[in-house]
Structure 1
Amino acid sequence: MGKRTFSHNFNSGTKRLDMNYGKLWKIIIFTLLISLSSTVLSLADEVEDILKYSFDSGIRANLEGIKESKIYTSTQIYTFVTREVYQEPDFMYIEYINPPRVRGRILIDDGKRRIEYIPTTGKIRVTPSFFSSQIKEKRERKLKVLLKNFEISQLYEEQILGRPVYTISLSPKGISTPLLKIWIDKKTYFTLRKEKYNLNGEPISLFYYKKIQFNKYFPRKRFYQELPSLPQNPETHPFQTYYSLEEIKRKINFSLSLPEYFPRSYVFQEAELMGDRKTVKLIYTNGIDIVVLFQRPRIDVAMRYHRELMFRGMKMRFREGIYGNTLVWSSSGKTFVLIGELPLDEMLKIAHSMK
């Protein structure tokens, strides 16, 4: 009897042990999954934070560097070389070294205003600072669109010019082809290299630093010596006022046309009313690029180095350029100018969808 009891208790205990081990194993697996998922989430959060820091308009380093930038078109590669100096928290100096046609062009931003000297014309333009709160708000809105539209992944460990970097890739959601790769300095969150591609994986533009030296400080006054003396009344451009679609409609005396089609992930960002008070500028973004659509009562637009084409009964002019493609056409008593890094077929779809 006792034996049966012992056997019964033993079997019952074994079942309880098996059951407990089963529960324990499930708990371990569940905990592991939670741990892994939280690790993935924390990694995703970390990558987003890295991007946010790099997008921030402030500067976290004192440095001097030589940067080479390349812009690719279907027929040519344009190369620019600049000397750049950054000082914490909000000073920037950029001087163009090559090519010869832009050599000597200078941009100085001291956190209060941006001064641009163009040697070919001898003119000095003064515009709001790149580090202003208004520009910072625009960058933050653009970053939100980017985070919504793109899959962000952190790639392999790497070094650039002997410095550890975060290597980040951005691909449109649902598409594996990366449109943007960024190499960000781990210590300062300063972008040391950036490559942009189209959906076919072909390069659009890139920049990288050939030389860079951190912890280098210069008295700011010396950079202003590179400029001719500032005129008493320099050409000053105040902050632009931005409007919603409803607001801009109330500001103009003609009907506003809007596109019913735009490439996937692009959203309306803001509208501007240009200086003549007759031209509306609509800005769309996907978080990386912007596409600009101008419209106004019909006028003749001067345009060089273009080709003419017919599309669904409309005469159009198209030009491929360094900073994007341009499409010009007139319809329903208005003239439209569309500018952006979009292929011609996408630009034609936008034009055809205007209502």
Structure 2
Amino acid sequence: MKKGSCMNPGKGFQKVLQCLFVLIILSGGMTSALLAIEPKEILTRSLEAQFGLDFEGIKKTEFRLPGRSYTTTTRIIRQEPDFTYTTTLAPARLKRLVILDDGKFRIKHIRGSNKFGFFPSLNSPEAKEIKRKSLNLIFINYKISKLLDGYILARPVYVISLIPKHSGNPRRKVWIDKKMYLPLKEEDYNWRGELISSSFYTEIHFDKRFSKEKFYRDFPQRPRKKVFSQERFLSLKDLRRKIRFPVSSAHYLPPSYEFQEAVLFSKERAVKLTYTNGLGVICLFQMPSNIKLRGHLEGAHPLVWEKGGRTFLLMADISRKELIKIKQSVK
């Protein structure tokens, strides 16, 4: 019988088998690559999942401020499409704080008191549009990388890194549930690359439904009167139609930043303008000089100045040099 025949395969036939084996491995790798989800798609699904999930969880957030750190623990109940109920479990000084958001407005209330405040909803169509625009800016201004997969609470997660294309901006690392696409952990770093906050779920339960009426019982009847502490505007033109005083804006912004929204507060006498690159935020406050701004300055090193009987306050997680350039452009 001849060498290399069907009954006695030779080296030529063995080489063919080896080639076929290599092709099978390569085709399998190509199929896996085609089936892999791109990081941008993971982030897009994650954003939409935050509007369309029913879940209950315990979330811990650690803040690292210059000279000190502190941790908060909250219970979060979310029901699609636009309902969120949050109670603070720790620290003790905040344990009576309750926040209810039904997509129309957000109420902050101290249980056992008549203290409450109305704020723009974080679940409203306008808020969702802001979040989608911010995500699009992240796609433009950040290098998005998928790191090695991991586990949070024994659930498999994607690990995504967001590194700014322009130096001197904050960055983020996020762990996203592979099945539900909810972020289970996030780490935020300042423009110097230092960790400033970390939030993560210590418990999570999906597909849980509750009667919303039971949550309203935590609130006195008075909050049903919708007197807003703040009002949101998505353009300066709309803001100027509402107010009777001039508003100054920044005419210089660092590369990649653009206007996001304006918020009117303090009985329609103060304004906050927000600019963003998708992740980083620049806030410009302006108000009559007799108003004291509280609750916004912890851990920040803002620029403050007065002009024409009004006080201006500028803060952002960027270099002092860039802050000064923005201040000089405000008019």
The TM-score range, normalised by the shorter chain, is 0.7 to 0.9
Partner of 2:284: 293
SS in 1 for 2:61: strand
Offset of 1:119 from its aligned partner? 3.6
What whole-Å deviation, never above 9, does each CA across 1:81-111 have from its counterpart, x for those lacking one? 1112223443322110111111121122334
Equivalent of residue 92 in structure 1, options 84, 95, 105: 84
Equivalent of residue 148 in structure 1, options 115, 128, 140: 140
Alpha-carbon distance in 2 for matches of 1:251, 1:132: 20
Partner of 2:180: 188
SS in 2 for 1:339: strand
> Match for 1:130: what amino acid?
L
Q: For the structure 1 residues 164 and 107, does the alpha-carbon distance in structure 2 shift closer, same or farther, using more than 3 Å as the test?
A: same
Partner of 2:22: none
Partner of 1:340: 316
> Which structure 2 segments of 5+ residues have no match?
1-25
Equivalent of residue 157 in structure 2, options 165, 176, 187: 165
Alpha-carbon distance in 2 for matches of 1:110, 1:252: 27
Offset of 1:67 from its aligned partner? 1.0
Offset of 1:156 from its aligned partner? 0.6
Partner of 2:254: 263
What whole-Å deviation, never above 9, does each CA across 1:125-157 have from its counterpart, x for those lacking one? 344543221211121122222211111111111
Partner of 1:328: 304
Moved more, 332-341 or 93-102: 332-341
1:109 aligned to 2:101? yes
Residues 180 and 195, structure 1, Cα contact 8 Å, conserved in 2: yes
Offset of 1:346 from its aligned partner? 3.7
Offset of 1:58 from its aligned partner? 4.7
SS in 1 for 2:215: helix
Offset of 1:243 from its aligned partner? 5.3
Alpha-carbon distance in 2 for matches of 1:93, 1:123: 17
Q: For the structure 1 residues 235 and 119, does the alpha-carbon distance in structure 2 shift closer, same or farther, using more than 3 Å as the test?
A: farther
What whole-Å deviation, never above 9, does each CA across 1:219-248 have from its counterpart, x for those lacking one? 3343334x1442275453288352534565
Residues 58 and 90, structure 1, Cα contact 8 Å, conserved in 2: no
SS in 1 for 2:96: coil
Alpha-carbon distance in 2 for matches of 1:235, 1:118: 17
Alpha-carbon RMSD across the aligned residues, in angstroms, is 3.5
TM-score using structure 1 length: 0.72
> Match for 2:273: what amino acid?
L
Offset of 1:159 from its aligned partner? 0.9
Q: For the structure 1 residues 120 and 283, does the alpha-carbon distance in structure 2 shift closer, same or farther, using more than 3 Å as the test?
A: farther
Q: For the structure 1 residues 122 and 110, does the alpha-carbon distance in structure 2 shift closer, same or farther, using more than 3 Å as the test?
A: same
Alpha-carbon distance in 1 for matches of 2:125, 2:313: 30
> Match for 2:284: what amino acid?
L
Partner of 1:302: 292
Alpha-carbon distance in 2 for matches of 1:299, 1:84: 38
Residues 295 and 334, structure 1, Cα contact 8 Å, conserved in 2: yes
Offset of 1:65 from its aligned partner? 1.8
Alpha-carbon distance in 2 for matches of 1:250, 1:86: 35
Q: For the structure 1 residues 263 and 235, does the alpha-carbon distance in structure 2 shift closer, same or farther, using more than 3 Å as the test?
A: same
SS in 1 for 2:231: coil
SS in 1 for 2:325: helix
Residues 60 and 188, structure 1, Cα contact 8 Å, conserved in 2: no
Partner of 1:283: 274
Residues 230 and 266, structure 2, Cα contact 8 Å, conserved in 1: no
Offset of 1:325 from its aligned partner? 4.0
Residues 166 and 255, structure 2, Cα contact 8 Å, conserved in 1: no
1:14-163 mapped onto 2 (5 Å cutoff): 46-56=38-48, 58-119=50-111, 122-163=114-155
SS in 2 for 1:336: strand
SS in 2 for 1:240: strand
Alpha-carbon distance in 2 for matches of 1:146, 1:64: 28
Residues 115 and 125, structure 1, Cα contact 8 Å, conserved in 2: yes
Alpha-carbon distance in 2 for matches of 1:329, 1:224: 42
Residues 282 and 294, structure 1, Cα contact 8 Å, conserved in 2: yes
> Match for 1:299: what amino acid?
S
> Match for 2:98: what amino acid?
I
> Which structure 1 segments of 5+ residues have no match?
1-31, 306-318
Offset of 1:68 from its aligned partner? 0.7
Q: For the structure 1 residues 194 and 279, does the alpha-carbon distance in structure 2 shift closer, same or farther, using more than 3 Å as the test?
A: same
TM-score using structure 2 length: 0.76
Q: For the structure 1 residues 92 and 65, does the alpha-carbon distance in structure 2 shift closer, same or farther, using more than 3 Å as the test?
A: same
Alpha-carbon distance in 2 for matches of 1:158, 1:232: 43
